[in-house]
């Protein structure tokens, strides 16, 4: 195995893939334009859904519980307690009213609610909603909050009428303070960015890997390549470096797309949950995180090369390598909601999980050198194992010349 021969093979494979416009377009060009569109659409949809659930909440009385007194009570009480609550005309059918957008919520009152209110007795206010509609199901919380405020206001008025200080109802005053080092926007970024990077690093080289061995077998250019001066291991490493290159090229193009989305509309990245704030990153943690990410790409590049070598044709290679995507997606999505403080030590020992954990740690402004060093050490073992598997495939003519 000679470095000169490795570089010759590497340059040859890179040129071949660059000439393949389909692979280049799907791996590099598409993410740059797709990510801004995706994040802008999702961010806009999330913001719109949130607005529908919390603003302009229209409430209607049922026709059988309607009376001028009931209508006035709702207007004078609920509209003053919730700024976004509006009382509209009564309706006959709650389901039809909600689904035709006449009202987001429908309520009914006891017929004798006035008598119970004067007698200091509780009365029932029943809320009708459609949980299959976000604008209705999401508005229930806002109406409940307004009713809770109304109960508190009425209770205070009654106590004051009896000459009792209303403060006796609140023996404990609760104060909260958020001591997190990142805002809501950063929290959303911690959920999405590590998952996206880990998945792309692990599967970004699949188009290149499929073509480099399985594709060459199908085009009958692989056997002539083996007759050239570079040895099998030089060819293996040259193809291996090409897969690594395109794995990280797909990551970079996707991150460029996300950056464009952020420049166009900053709230698109945070899904409308706040703006991205500042980060306090430890330099050592960042370096170890990048090393873990690089080693993850190297591990999966070796596996992709081995699978491509095992495949008889380009189509068979695509089938096998597509299964690898599910292997990556399961742990990536499973850890999406985990925050830096929730990371367990075993997660630094498992591929994909270790990269997700490392990025969450860095984005959360935290340090855990023990976990990161364990991640680097175990990742090196995985790289060696993946290369040994690929090398065993290249040395075994049973797999090398399958057709």
- What is the topology classification, in CATH, of domain 55-169? abc type-2 transporter like fold (3.40.1710)
pLDDT in tens, 79-132: 776 567 888 899 999 999 999 888 899 999 988 888 888 888 889 999 999 888
Of 68 and 276, the structure prediction assigns the larger pLDDT to 68
Residue range(s) of every CATH 3.40.1710.10 domain in the chain: 55-169
pLDDT in tens, 318-364: 888 888 888 888 888 888 888 888 888 999 999 989 999 998 888 87
Phi and psi at residue 130, to the nearest 5°: -115, 105
pLDDT above 70 covers what percent of the chain?
88
**DSSP classification of residue 56:** S
Q: Which two structure tokens, joined as six digits, stand for 301?
A: 């590049």
Distance (Å) of CA 172 to CA 149, 167, 168, 175, 399: 17, 10, 10, 10, 73
Q: Please state whether beta strands 125-128 and 105-109 pair in parallel, antiparallel, or not at all (unpaired).
A: antiparallel
Of 370 and 363, the structure prediction assigns the larger pLDDT to 370
């Amino acid at each position: 195995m000679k470095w000169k021969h490795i570089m010759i093979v590497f340059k040859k494979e890179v040129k071949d893939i660059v000439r393949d416009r389909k692979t280049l377009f799907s791996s590099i060009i598409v993410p740059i334009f797709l990510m801004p569109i995706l994040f802008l659409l999702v961010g806009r949809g999330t913001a719109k859904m949130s607005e529908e659930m919390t603003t302009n909440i229209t409430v209607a009385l049922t026709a059988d519980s309607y009376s001028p007194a009931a209508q006035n009570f709702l207007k004078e009480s609920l509209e003053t307690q919730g700024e976004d609550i509006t009382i509209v005309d009564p309706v006959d059918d709650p389901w039809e009213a909600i689904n035709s957008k006449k009202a987001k919520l429908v309520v009914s009152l006891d017929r004798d609610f006035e008598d119970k209110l004067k007698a200091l007795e509780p009365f029932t206010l029943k809320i009708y909603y459609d949980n299959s509609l976000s604008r209705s199901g999401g508005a229930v919380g806002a109406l409940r909050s307004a009713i809770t405020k109304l109960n508190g206001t009425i209770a205070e008025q009654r106590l004051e009428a009896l000459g009792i200080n209303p403060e006796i109802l609140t023996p404990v005053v609760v104060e909260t303070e958020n001591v997190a080092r990142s805002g809501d926007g950063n929290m959303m970024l911690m959920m999405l960015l590590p998952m996206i990077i880990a998945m792309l690093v692990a599967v970004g080289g699949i188009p290149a890997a499929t073509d480099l061995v399985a594709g060459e077998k199908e085009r009958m250019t692989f056997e002539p390549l083996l007759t050239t001066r570079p040895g099998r291991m030089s060819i293996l490493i040259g193809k291996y470096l090409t897969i690594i290159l395109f794995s990280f090229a797909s990551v970079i193009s996707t991150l460029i797309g996300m950056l464009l989305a952020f420049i166009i509309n900053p709230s698109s990245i945070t899904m409308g949950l706040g703006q991205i704030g500042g980060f306090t990153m430890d330099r050592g943690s960042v370096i170890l995180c990048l090393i873990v990410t690089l080693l993850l790409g190297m591990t999966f590049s070796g596996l992709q090369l081995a699978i491509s070598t095992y495949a008889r044709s380009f189509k068979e290679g695509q089938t096998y390598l597509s299964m690898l995507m599910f292997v990556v997606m399961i742990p990536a999505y499973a850890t999406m909601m985990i925050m830096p403080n929730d990371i367990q030590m075993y997660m630094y020992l498992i591929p994909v999980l270790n990269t997700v954990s490392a990025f969450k740690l860095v984005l959360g402004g935290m340090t855990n050198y023990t976990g990161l060093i364990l991640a680097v050490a175990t990742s090196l073992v995985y790289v060696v194992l993946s290369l040994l598997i690929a090398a065993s495939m290249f040395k075994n003519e049973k797999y090398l010349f399958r057709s």
